[in-house]
Amino acid sequence: MGALGLASTLLQLILALLAASLSLTAYRLFFHPLARFPGPKLAAATGVHEFYFSVILGGQLPFRLQRLHSVYGPIVRIGPNELHISHPEAYEEIYRAGSKLSKWPWYYSCFGVGLSAFGSLSNAEHSQRRAATAVFFSRQSIFSYEGILRQPVETLCKKLKSARDRGDPVDLDRAFRNVSLDAISQISFGRSFDFVERDDAAAFFHEGVGDSLKTICTVRFFPPLVPFFNNMPLWLMKLMGEKLAAVMLMKRFAREAAKTAMEQHSLSPEEASKRHMILGHIVANRHDPRYGAVTQRRLEEEALSLIAAGADTTGNASTMAVYQLLRHPDLYERVKDEVQSAQTGPGGEFGLIQLEKLPYLTAVIKEALRMSYGLMGRLPRVVPPSGIEVLNEHIPGSTIVSMSTYLQHNNEQVFPQPSRFNPDRWLGEDGSRLDRYLVSFGKGRHACVGMNVAYAQIYLDLGLLLKEFDFALEPMSDWDMEYEDRFVGLHHAGAKRVHVRLK
């Protein structure tokens, strides 16, 4: 074939691809089952719209969605086959227990934990794997291992006293994350990271997790790269940056913990529970068909998902609470007086039982959760073939539907003046009514299994520190407390963390 023939063939190929692209675009815009739903034409035609706001602008999609809903209404087409919904009553329709909607593989597979409860795509597998860990996260179980949750907080209090004596400021943002990770690692594996004591190692870890989440949110748009990223060897990860290597070290820790759990297969379920080892409990019940197949790889992925879940939600909420209280001295004094005057137990004990009875502290925690979001962005679900009805609209089968915690928690109909920190909104009968709209941990079958542990940890974080210390906030602004959507909320690059001085 001569040069002229080759050029002709290439031209024909380019024209064929162009014609195919134009045909696909025309189908999506005018003939697709979602063509009747409003939204930007670019979003309806291509995934470039989401890529731009998620990756190029860096975690800005929730804010873009908020603007789109103000223009187009409660149901907006945000992708060729995706609808985003913003209406307070729709959340339970989509995410309720017993829902037949399933997780969208494209969105969740990039996390590389498909064998864990969190990563399970089918509802049946998710139910099996969740059942294997749920016993550890019931309220009754939490009271049995309150000491594990309390121990890193007490270690932190000792460090805070030393900082107070020296007159040094303390980074509470990182301190609260360290507490959470020490507690969840002890519960999961039977040994703690000891990050409260080893703050330098913790800083390396937290930066690595943040970098990893940003990378995951980018790699998602390039599916062929997902398996490569999730199975990248440690030496190659180190070449890409020391912070990402820290995440690989976390994976190595999870692998070792899973191997140890598998080797201790002679433990009875009762002994595993007594040692508060979630992985050990799964292995001890490996013959129970309700829990699904137990392999070392599954244990590794359960370990990773537990660590990731414990790293940010509770830390963000505790940090948000302290920041907002110190920005509002009247609220700070009110909750501090309540904690200081709280009755102790018969033996002088002061813990979860006492703290959970404090109405204003509880209101502060709920408001901090509302403003720190938990999983900030959208949680996509696949509609079953029969379709569903949402807000009196029929959503066709196989459509992707999603809602966002950020929009739910900033809905002015439910939370007037949503940017204002107002714990009083949670008090009384009106406050009880709001509980169904607080979705920091999701809803239904896929709700965070560790929600009770998270609440308990936040109660202990705030209760024990407010009982022991007075705080003064180091200079910072509200911008420093804003988030980017990296699945969980991460602060902007260059944002100041919450530093306090102790009195």
Is the distance from CB of 189 to CB of 277 less than 8 angstroms? yes
* Residues 46, 34: Cα–Cα separation, whole Å: 13
Give, rounded to a whole angstrom, the gap between the first and last alpha carbons of the chain: 84
What would you measure as the largest C-alpha separation in the chain, in angstroms?
95
Query: Could you tell me how far CA 279 lies from the centroid of its own chain?
Result: 21
* Residues 298, 304: Cα–Cα separation, whole Å: 10
SS (H, E, C) 368-394: HHHHHCCECCECCEECCCCCEEECCEE
157 marked among binding-site residues: no
* Residues 43, 54: Cα–Cα separation, whole Å: 13
Closest CA to 106 of 444, 374, 385, 400: 400
Q: Rounded to the nearest 5°, which phi and psi values hold at 73?
A: 105, -170
The residues that bridge with 389 in the sheet, in sequence order, are 394
Closest CA to 423 of 358, 481, 467, 473: 358
* Encoded tokens for 311: 């790293």
- Environment class of 350 (CB within 10 Å of its CB; exposed 0-12, middle 13-18, buried 19+): middle
* Residues 182, 307: Cα–Cα separation, whole Å: 10
Closest CA to 107 of 82, 143, 88, 144: 82
Cβ atoms within 10 Å, residue 356 = 16
Q: Which helix (H) or strand (E) holds 433?
A: helix 428-434
Region for residue 398 given its phi and psi (left: phi exceeds 0; alpha: psi -120 to 50; beta: otherwise):
left
The residues that bridge with 103 in the sheet, in sequence order, are 381
Q: Rounded to the nearest 5°, which phi and psi values hold at 498?
A: -75, 105
Q: Enter the DSSP assignment of 52.
A: I
* Residues 343, 365: Cα–Cα separation, whole Å: 19
Q: Enter the DSSP assignment of 401.
A: E
Which residues fall in the annotated binding site for heme?
448
Which residues fall in the annotated binding site?
448
